[in-house]
Amino acid sequence: MNHRPASPLARGTHIVQSTGTMTTELRPTEAAIRLALLSDAARLAEFGARTFAETFGSDNTPEDMALHLARTFGAAQQSAEIDDPNMTTIVAESEGRLAAFAQLRTGPAPESVAGTSPIELLRFYVDRAWHGRGLARAMMAAVDQEATRRGATVIWLCVWERNERAKAFYRKCGYVDVGSKVFILGTDRQTDRVFSRVIS
């Protein structure tokens, strides 16, 4: 589980999909949501590592954080994820800077997740500067659209049991706590809560 909603929060918008792209014009956030390109990989790696460290650095040892960031973020890693047919990476951009990103991944779900066609919301990161501006909700709408396009009927995710802000956000979006899952951060064994929601 790599999903640590940031800041990783993680989570009247019009979304248009055509020729493999997704664009969203947002007001009042003034950001655009689209599918990630391979050319975004280095920026995604930096953004993900920075937001994760900002959110969880004070609750973990420097050694465990360094080990996790090295394993999880890097231009090669994010390039592989963008190119993976089992994953979709969605980004929000404003004035040439990343404001948020989310990743969906197909694959087996925990037994606690009900439904015949689940998909995982692996990561949902929103930069702190964009909190409270409607961007997280717009990103979640894009996530729902992509999950539906992939034929999913249920979205599930994992969130650290101590990340109360993220859990509250997901509950507002209709997710419910359905179980727990072990997450290893560096060498530290932690507990994540598993949330799921039927796509309406």
In a domain, 9, yes or no: no
| β-pairing verdict for 176-185 and 118-126 | unpaired
Phi, psi at residue 114, to the nearest 5°?
-85, 160
| pLDDT at residue number 25 | 46
The tally of domains found in the chain comes to 1
pTM over 0.75: yes
Phi, psi at residue 58, to the nearest 5°?
-75, -15
In a domain, 5, yes or no: no
| Residue 110 CB coordination number (10 Å) | 16
| pLDDT at residue number 17 | 27
In a domain, 32, yes or no: yes
In a domain, 80, yes or no: yes
| pLDDT at residue number 192 | 93
DSSP string across 66-130:
HHHHHHH-SHHHHHHHHH-TTEEEEEEEETTEEEEEEEEE-S---TT--SSSEEEEEEEEE-GGG
* Max Cα distance, the chain (Å): 44
Q: Give the CATH number for residue 194.
A: 3.40.630.30
In a domain, 159, yes or no: yes
Enumerate residues 6+ apart whose C-beta is below 8 A from 18. none
| pLDDT at residue number 21 | 42
List the chain residues with pLDDT less than 70.
1-29
> What is the extent of the structural domain holding 100?
14-198
| pLDDT at residue number 35 | 96
Q: Is 1 helix (H, G, I), strand (E, B) or coil?
A: coil
| Residue 194 CB coordination number (10 Å) | 21
| Residue 64 CB coordination number (10 Å) | 18
What are the pLDDT digits (tens) for 53-98?
Answer: 988 877 889 999 999 999 999 999 999 999 999 999 999 999 899 9
Cis previous bond, 110, omega within 30 = no
In a domain, 3, yes or no: no
Q: Map tokens 């890693």 to a residue.
A: 77
In a domain, 4, yes or no: no
In a domain, 77, yes or no: yes
